[in-house]
Amino acid sequence: MAKVVLVGSPNVGKSVIFNYLTGQYVAVSNYPGTTVDISRGYSKINGKVYEFIDTPGMYSLIPITEEERVSRMLLCQEKPDIVLHVIDAKNIRRMLHLTLQLIDMGFPVILVVNLIDEAKKNGIYLKLECLSEILGIPVIATIATKGLGLGKIKEEVQEYSCGKPRFSLLFSPNIEQAIHSISAKIKGEYGLSRRMTALLLIQGDKILYALANHKERAFPEILAEVNKLNSYYQYDMEYVLAVERQRAIDRICDSVLEERKIYSRGVGETLSRLTREPATGIPILCLVIFFGIYQFVGKFGAGFLVEYLDLNLFVPYINPLMEYYVYQYMPWDWLQSLIMGKYGFFTLGFRYAFIIILPIVSTFFFMFAILEDSGYLPRLAMLMDFIFKKIGLNGRAVIPFALGLGCGTMAVMVRSKR
């Protein structure tokens, strides 16, 4: 059975494409040894069965989060026949980094350029045939939410051939020399091409270092090559390689990208820009916290709704009705006390859950849904990333921080899983 793995950054449409490819035959389970969910499904294309695997979002092969670590482990261990890399057409300069890394890994890659309609709204037009020629891999334009281009993915999966010469990024001569020297010393199997294994070792990947330390007899020589290369540069090698890779991506984008000036970007684009810039984003954040969390959740939900439900529903109607039935039809004092006593099941359990917990949780998640669906949370994550890095976190920590405003336990649990 051919195996196809979907990879890409969060919120680029992987799950929509996965659901289209697999239909109803989907199984979700934790990846072994983790709490990260992996979705697997099957599809028959012209009589041949394919297994499709949807991975958690990842930005790079050097993992920062547990999700990225699992996605890389899956790529290395599952040895897919095809990798579908789904990217956002609006952010192609940033997302081609992972594309080039996947090509360096030696995988058969199909590039799925999603959200092509949103890119055009922003004045971004792509010459996808030219991009396919440069990279040497199939490139497909899609609008996953409308189902456009998704049929082409099935065609490319069925007809994929590795005969075409693929793009090969050459770094500076001293880096290439180190890659060649380290590759020659590598004898173990890591689920990666030797070139990519050497690149990850040069960048100081901790997972691969631990594996190579046990597998490679020549590991001291490999380490010496890495240290020698590091001595040539002021910055760490992950940064140096990222800069050189970005230069290559910029050259590619200059050939395939056409940006047209949009004279009217609309209110949505203006608000998006204002929420990302510190000068305007921080005051907007203060307004969101004050009106959205404090006033709506704190004052309206925890104040007005709690008092209204208690004084206008429970006190005049529900409490007397329950007391009547309990004391009239239940002769046992212990049972009356268990239900209607000071710490009774109804008095303290049901009543408090309904008039206190329900209004607070409902208003909090209603506001949270608005912030999420409007796209404000990703922009807030971008805004807060620089500040959070000072305390060892990243911008995505805004979600457990927001949850912490309502429940510290939930915030700690979410942060520990992330």
pLDDT at 234: 86
Report the C-alpha gap between 18 and 280 in whole angstroms.
38
pTM of the model: 0.69
pLDDT at residue 15, as a whole number = 86
Q: Which two tokens stand for residue 243?
A: 């800069």
| Per-position pLDDT tens, the chain of length 418 | 889 999 998 888 888 899 888 876 566 666 665 657 788 888 888 888 999 999 988 888 888 788 888 888 889 888 899 999 999 998 898 899 999 999 988 889 999 999 998 888 888 889 999 999 999 999 999 998 888 999 999 999 988 876 666 788 889 999 999 999 999 999 988 888 899 999 999 998 888 888 898 888 899 999 999 999 999 888 888 889 989 999 999 999 999 988 665 554 566 667 777 887 888 888 988 898 889 888 998 899 888 999 999 889 888 988 888 888 888 888 888 888 888 887 788 888 888 888 888 898 899 888 888 887 777 877 887 788 777 777 777 777 777 776 676 566 656 665 555 5
Nearest partner of 112 among 132, 97, 93, judged by Cα? 132
Domains, in order of start, for the chain: 2-159 (3.40.50.300), 173-259 (1.10.287.1770), 271-374 (no CATH)
Side chain identity at 49, as an amino acid letter? V
Calpha distance 12→109 (Å, rounded): 17
Which residues are CB-neighbours of 238 under 8 A, at least 6 positions away?
Answer: 62, 203, 204
101 burial type by CB count under 10 A (0-12 exposed, 13-18 middle, 19+ buried): buried
Q: Alpha helix locations (H) across 92-149?
A: 92-104, 116-121, 128-135
Residue reference for tokens 């045939």: 129
